[in-house]
Copies of this chain bind each other. A is one copy, B any other.
Amino acid sequence: MQKLKCIIQYDGTAFSGYQVQPNGRTIQAEIEAVLSKMHKGEVVKIIASGRTDAGVHAVGQVIHFTSDLNIPLDGWKRALTAMLPADIRVADVHYANADFHARYDTTGKEYRYKVLNQTEADLFRRHYSYHVPQPLNIEAMRKACDYLEGEHDFTSFCSARTTVKGDKIRTITKAGIVVEGNELTFIFRGTGFLYNMVRILVGTLLEIGNGEHEPEKIMEMIRARDRSAAGKTAPPHGLFLWQVFY
């Protein structure tokens, strides 16, 4: 038996999310179906670093599974790429230690969120960025990002639908905004993220960017430990799971 670790990418547009569910197409089900086919119908379970919601994309999702097939690494990559649908890609395949676990061993993650900040919508980026037509104050949003860095109780930035039972204290090691023309990329790196946390952070930062709140208000929102204190949840299609750290 060999444990394999794969870096996978997906366009979340046509998926009901990562995790297998009774209705709707999921990334997990597509990959498990291909692996099952490769293993003569045997069930092969995959474990990911975490779930992503419907419409959310991944550039560096990590999964693991075990197999008794004798295939070299580039053969795995070629076979999976050929058999998977066009909206899932295997970027890399590695051998992993027998005790490696894609979810429990993560030490951190990076998410990116793309906002297209111009008057007119862009048809060709509609699935991959959130269109915000009103002008945004980048400096105010960057100031708020600085306040976000560090260890905080992020209860205010966690969906009420969370299943997390422990505390909601997480550390954001990096929060920043890269500007390229009219496209803003929000970058968040941290030890762990709560349910919808990045989308609520972005929704809140955009309210600071359009002048609804001062940047300092974000500290007050954190202290409130109440979801209703923070801003709206930004839509899923601007969000990318960018990288998983081990």
CA distance in complex: A10, B120 (Å): 14
Pick from A83-91, A93-101, A202-210 the stretch touching chain B: A83-91
Question: Is A126's beta carbon under 8 Å from chain B?
Answer: yes
Q: How far is the CB of A89 from chain B (nearest CB, A)?
A: 5
A120-133 Cβ-contact flags toward B at 8 Å (1 or 0): 11011010100000
Q: Which of B9, B89, B91, B123 contacts A9 (CB 8 A)?
A: B123
Quick one: copies of this chain in the complex? Answer: 2
Question: Are A10 and B123 neighbours in the complex by a CB distance under 8 Å?
Answer: yes
Say if the beta carbon of A57 comes within 8 Å of chain B.
yes
A110 within 8 A of B: no
Contact A89 B123 (CB under 8 A): yes
Which residue on B lies nearest to A81, using beta carbons?
B121
Distance, CA A126 to CA B57, complexed state (A): 14
Counting chain A residues whose Cβ lies within 8 A of the other chain, the interface size class is 10 to 19
Q: Which residues of chain A from 1 to 55 have a CB within 8 Å of any chain B CB?
A: 9-11
Q: How many whole Å from A118's CB to the nearest CB in chain B?
A: 13
Contact with B along A52-82 (1 / 0, CB 8 A): 0000010000000000000000000000000
Which residues of B sit under 8 angstroms from A9, Cβ to Cβ? Answer: 123
Chain B residues closer than 8 Å to A57, beta-carbon distance? 124
Q: Are B120 and A124 in contact (CB under 8 A)?
A: no
Task: Give the distance in Å from the alpha carbon of A128 to the alpha carbon of B4 in the complex.
Answer: 32
For A86, A124, A126, the residue with the greatest tally of chain B CB atoms inside 10 Å of its CB is A124
Within 8 A of B (CB), among A102-128: 120-121, 123-124, 126, 128
Given A11-B123, A89-B123, 8 new contacts (CB under 8 A): A9-B123, A10-B123, A11-B126, A57-B124, A86-B126, A89-B121, A91-B120, A124-B128
A-B contact pairs, 12 of them (CB 8 A): A9-B123, A10-B123, A11-B123, A11-B124, A11-B126, A57-B124, A86-B126, A87-B123, A89-B121, A89-B123, A91-B120, A124-B128
3 closest cross-chain pairs (CB), A and B: A89-B123, A9-B123, A11-B123
